[in-house]
């Protein structure tokens, strides 16, 4: 006597090992990507642009925020100013020594050779690199 709604023949499951292996590989990949994402989302040194002002034809002032995990390590930041055609018209390396704060703001003047329209922080690296 057949059960109602279950008229299909019973057969042995096929591909169970392959499906388990694929699920395990996917879980390992997902775990690896999560760890890598967490490490890249929380860098050792982070710089964020706060504001910039075009002071004159030959100077731009930039304000940026530095966040670093170890405030005792000195760092060097590169800041640039660009003109309307995106050419770099001002370039400066800012040396930041050891501090007691992990997060602080820096204001720096960038001398330019012509009128700038924007300024940015390129990157900040530990001084020994």
Domain boundaries, the chain: 14-43, 45-126
Class of the CATH-defined domain 45-126:
mainly beta
Q: List all residues 6 or more positions away from 88 whose beta carbon is below 8 Å from its beta carbon.
A: 80, 81, 82
Q: What is the pLDDT of residues 72-126, one digit of tens each?
A: 999 999 999 999 999 999 999 999 999 999 999 999 999 999 999 999 999 999 9
What global pTM score does this model have?
0.70
Strands 59-68 and 103-111: antiparallel
């Amino acid at each position: 006597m057949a059960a109602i709604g279950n008229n299909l023949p019973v057969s042995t499951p096929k591909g169970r090992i392959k499906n388990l292996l694929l699920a395990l590989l996917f879980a390992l990949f997902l775990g690896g990507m999560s760890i890598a994402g967490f490490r890249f989302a929380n860098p050792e040194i982070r710089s964020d642009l706060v504001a910039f002002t075009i002071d004159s034809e030959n100077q731009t002032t930039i304000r940026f925020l530095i966040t670093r995990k170890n405030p005792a390590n000195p760092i060097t930041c590169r800041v640039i100013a660009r003109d309307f055609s995106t050419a770099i018209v001002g370039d400066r390396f800012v040396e930041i020594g050891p501090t007691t704060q992990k997060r602080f703001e820096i204001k720096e003047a960038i001398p330019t050779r012509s009128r700038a329209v924007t300024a940015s922080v390129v990157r900040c690296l530990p001084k020994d690199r």
